[in-house]
Chain A
């Protein structure tokens, strides 16, 4: 260590997550040669400014081997921080035994403060301790994070337009806890309220415990003669690690299929009324795409499993997955392929739990929920489904922007019930096997071409849709279609 150099320097290279970025300054430890260098390299070399100094002061410090420990920590600029939270946050910092560890852990801690909204910006100052030899003092200069936020917005997605107002209180008890309340009204969702209390675990923004309460009235009348009133309580543990986001959730949901009217089908009347679902669900998702709406490379995977029947009057096992892969073919061509599937297994499933297929963000060329079981005018949903999509994004002549592309696509999928009205109608296992084979080999399908526009928030599509194969209960919708959404097949 060069003990003679007492000039300060700062650097702010990102950690593995941009959220954890923070300003950093050292005093009395390193020279300004640290400035452009992230903390990961083990060897740091000083570069004096002139040749005479170069001969005299060229020295190499291996900070991964230089012993040091944090002696004192102080923080300024934050109005609300809990001592217990600070202990958890700084535990790895105080456990560091080398300079490199101290720098890394200090940066990590500063980044967590930012990610949790406790501070807007953090400047880390590290100095040699005057009290002990080989010890460091650390000080965080923080800019206090904003505690209250209210925003209004208009969201468009999944064939629904929605206006919402959201209020948020951050860092409620000084440990990065937040409460968010949201009220929204949309074209399908008549009214929805949601309140979420979220708290980090171990002072880590990547591990969160969330409690959510929501109520929504879903107007399903355009495609099924009923409304659904849904009141849900969720407690979820979320952890962003091991290559993706893991979520373990307990959910208590009271559903009311109501307002059926005169012309609802008998199949829908069977599902009407109150039900209480008590379930445990696990979801894993991994996203390496460069864009969630119009990706040009990377892949996305999401797998979910839900087990209902721990109390309540609904019993089922449900599993579904979404896979997407994107290949950049060069010259502006991108090939995207998707595979979705799901299975709902229960003695008597409800429309509130089933899968639906068809629509601009699902299998294009069909009405929203236009594929699968239908009684009269009512789409009933299915217990089992699959959907496959293949899209080719192409550059357009005379168009310079990458945001607008040509689009050739082919979609197919099928959806069915497993009970005596669907694939189980043959009764005997042999009959079901043959129906299952037909189900897998006779999908409803459509092809088309059009334009895709990548907006900063949503994906906009204009497509000429040609349904090629359909079943007698499907609702094919050939013609020009306009689609808005986040996730498309």
Chain B
């Protein structure tokens, strides 16, 4: 054990000297490690997020005249707090496995000497990757993983900017209660969710919240992600004919459900999709015309022309060749901007300084690219101002319909479909 402790101390000292050296050399870029699923089943999400972060880094390094009017960091020339150091993103692929996520986290910390980490999309992988960061004392900012237990581990280096499942559930609940008050039928609600970590955790939180709010979930259907066929499930729905249908699905299943519902010619009065698959740009591009009037939640709301999300969206669109920012990419981008802000205020790349700066984060709503009320972390590292907007599919695009403060359109119901 003694040799080990000694080596750890030596490594820590080495890191510390490097950190100091990094501070002294003003022009040396600050490295940020980014772990995303860049291959495997979630590669679409990972690759979109990667492009969003690249847009973010370009804005900070090279500046953007319009954004600079609102965001102090968008003036270009790197991070002023670090004497103009530019940001260098180092991407790594978690391959969709917790093991690869952890191996890459270690590599980014020990080989690339990154100042902080961002990632890792899937909750299970965020869990293993952030455990390595915690043991090495490197800040880890998570922008997308919603599993509740991530912030319950007593970690000191873990910060999460995304809203969690409970926020989504509340958003749906209040939306449905408004609709009920407006006279729409919401007596029976069907909850259809895929059976991996994402679908299961969100579904159970929604079920709990709805029970508290007196909304009646009459049918709950769990199915395996990447199913080869969903006709039996749609037939079950068609038979019970619920007033409200809520989907918690990945892209593959979203595509199959959309196609199958049209094939079997059935639609509910209100259809809600919990993001994910139904927000995938590939889905929106090819199937938007078959889900007209679909209600969704998103962390992205395009907002008024000239607002932060609007300007970032224009840059992102240029980068991707026509795709809008969506929930996943905007949450990743927001996590990056929060970290960049903290780095700037830290005035150095020593982990402890960044950690302190992250803890002191206090960003206001007008600085947000995601639809949050701001960013402020509690003791557990959770952003208490995280929020979601409710959106609706209108002629190939999601527009914001709730909450009132952000809404750009009124909701049009019932669900039209195709």
A, B bound: no
Residues of B within 8 A of A (CB): none
